[in-house]
Chains A and B, each alone.
Chain A
Amino acid sequence: MSYTLFAVRFLLARTAAVIVVVWALVSVIAASRNATMRGTDPVAAFETEFRTLSHALPPSGPVGFLRYEADDDRADRVMTYYVAQYTLAPHVVEKRTDLEFVIVAPDAVRPGVDDRLAGFMPIATSKEGYSVYQRRAP
């Protein structure tokens, strides 16, 4: 009787082990497939943009970032701001315009005349239109 019990438990343990192995194999194959099919990383593209602007900035000090007029907390816009910070470190990029240098995203500028950029002049622009503005007048 005890031998039968042992045999049943042994068989159950083997079956459980096989199930775990098959499940794990299917999972890692699926994970591998998903990873190979993943799209390109937007961070790398944004970084290339902001990297072209870094030469226009001084070696240290805070840098401004022009807020988006609407939906400033939208995920893609938050990402743009965060990648600007990631690329331009050790500058601290702050969402304000009372600094000498301000990073401006192309879709953040108000149509027509944007009074937030009064007294600023663009000094560098990336391929996709991201710019560094420098204060020229008080």
Chain B
Amino acid sequence: MRELLALLIPVCAIGVFLDRSARWTSARAAIASLALALCLGIGFSSVVSTGLIVIGIAPTSRAFVLADVAVWVVVGALAWFTRRAAESPEPKAQSPEPRVESREWLLPAAFGVIAIVALVATIAAARAAPHGDWDAWAIWNLHARFLFRGGAGDAWRGFFSIAWSQPDYPLLLPASVARMWAYAGHESTLGPLLIAVGFGIACVTLAVTTIGGRHGWIAGVLMLGATTFLAQVPSQCADVPLACFIVATLAVTFGDILRIPNPESRIPALLAGATSAMAAWTKNEGVVFVLLMFLIAVIVAVRRRDGRQLLWSIAGAAPILIAVVGFKLALAPSSGLVEGQSLTVILTRLMDPDRHMTVLGLIAQQAMRWSAPFAFAVFPIVSLVAAWMAVRIGGVVRVMAIVLGLMLASYYVVYVTTPFDIAWHVSTSIDRLLVQLWPALVLTVVLGLQSSVPSPQSSVSSPRSPIPGLQSSVSSPRSSARRGEPWTKDC
């Protein structure tokens, strides 16, 4: 179980930092922070591991583990002592906890049962396929083996010459798995499984705790009910980790997950920068996401005429983006999707109506079957609800829906311009691409539902954004009018 220790060391160090920053004022905030610490811990430790391998410290050596432990002890200690210095004698602000009604336990209980059955399904799937799905062993765990076995010299770079194993994919997952094996002292199938399950749990937890109350439980239930998403958790591919970083970024940016009393706090921007950059360090699709989030941060900075939050976002993203850029420019070959493609060819494909019709038909067909046989058109239906809420409610729900819509649009453009056979490309990947967006889509819809339900017994405050530019814009025109507040259209 040394793999578990490897997982927990960075989580504890980042947990101390988050405790210092967010000052856990409720169980919900504490659980959300732990989930955030879990995904950030895996992410940052992968950057450290990659750095150690690049400078020539082999994961099979004791020096690797010692150096890694030393890094995390220093990070934890710095966070701890900073906390001591930053503590003020003022009492901590009490966050409004959801009011518990009679029979309020029904939804948490239902979520608990569903989560336990989902965990059983995950473990059963992992036992049946201990090396993960095809892409897991042919890409992610293969790269991890190169890093682990070839780390002593330059042999780890060998996978850059294997074109079919997507050598341009970033190293968050392979480096994390290699790090687990370094701690274990051998290549265990438990290491990648722990990472996969950790991301799955973090993903659901972040959505549930960000929303809170009964809407939070509904979000968790809805997320787990999609069997395609559930099947991807033990697959050991990078799609659930990417989904986790996307949902974490949206939760930190637009939710009140950390309940920081000071709206000018730099922490949410710092964390959002880090989580969005982690998305780019996880998979190439994450690059689109980090660019979109950066664009939003720029728009908010211009509207507020205050660039401080933007700068903190950049500061949070910088260490990881340096790793991403360094990897892309200095190590990895170019992506198979763009290699050898001229602008003329791409434009010609974009202008070809047959390609558009083919891609649209295939996407529609696959999206309708997503999570079948127990769900029909669940992804399109939830997407339509998100679009309707974006129009009706506006505010952060609209911004989140636009981000997800643009992500979908970028996937569509890649399919239309793909150099591969379109039918093969779409049919072998669209399920996983929808998995990447599913948790964020659920978060968007349920946040919208939460803010639009006019229940006087509503136990949850409407979601607020830590970004003041987006602060009051989540409310619907009607609910704002009821409270006598102006309906701002900041977004």
Contact = CB atoms under 8 A, between A and B. Distances in A.
A41 B130 contact: yes
Contacts of B302: none
Interface string A68-108: 00000000000100110110011110000000000000000
A20 B131 CA distance: 33
A89 B131 CA distance: 15
A79 to B, nearest CB: 8
Interface stretch (B73-81, B109-117, B240-248, B284-292): B109-117
A34 B131 CA distance: 18
A24 B221 contact: yes
Residue from the set A20, A35, A82 with the largest chain B CB neighbour count within 10 Å: A35
A41 B128 contact: yes
A28 B130 contact: no
Nearest to A78: B164
Contact of B142 (A26, A34, A86): A86
A34 B221 CA distance: 19
Contacts of B114: 21, 24-25, 28
Contacts of A39: 128
A36 interface: yes
A91 B146 CA distance: 9
A63 to B, nearest CB: 11
A86 B222 contact: no
Contacts of A29: 117
Nearest to A83: B137
Nearest to A92: B158
Interface in B401-447: none
B226 interface: yes
Interface stretch (B94-102, B148-156, B306-314): B148-156
Contact of B161 (A23, A27, A92): A92
Contacts of B156: 90
Interface string A16-51: 010011011111111110111011110110010000
A4 interface: no
A24 B128 CA distance: 23
Contacts, number: 120
B145 interface: yes
A89 B117 contact: no
B374 A26 contact: yes
Contacts of B194: none
B124 A20 contact: no
Contact of B222 (A20, A43, A60, A79): A20
B225 A28 contact: yes
Contacts of A83: 137
A36 B122 CA distance: 10
Contacts of A28: 114, 117-118, 121, 224-225, 227, 230
A31 B120 CA distance: 9
A124 to B, nearest CB: 19
Contact of B113 (A20, A25, A40): A25
Contacts of B222: 20, 24
A26 B226 CA distance: 11
B149 A21 contact: no
A24 B226 CA distance: 7
A91 B117 CA distance: 41
A43 B227 contact: no
B355 to A, nearest CB: 24
Residue from the set B113, B137, B226 with the largest chain A CB neighbour count within 10 Å: B137
Complex A-B, nearest 4 residue pairs according to Cβ-Cβ distance, in ascending order: A24-B225, A90-B150, A35-B124, A32-B121
24 contacts: A17-B107, A17-B214, A20-B225, A26-B374, A27-B226, A27-B227, A28-B118, A31-B227, A31-B230, A31-B231, A32-B121, A35-B124, A36-B124, A38-B124, A41-B128, A41-B130, A43-B129, A44-B131, A85-B165, A90-B149, A90-B150, A90-B158, A91-B158, A92-B162
Interface of A: 6, 9-10, 13, 17, 20-21, 23-32, 34-36, 38-41, 43-44, 47, 60, 79, 82-83, 85-86, 89-92
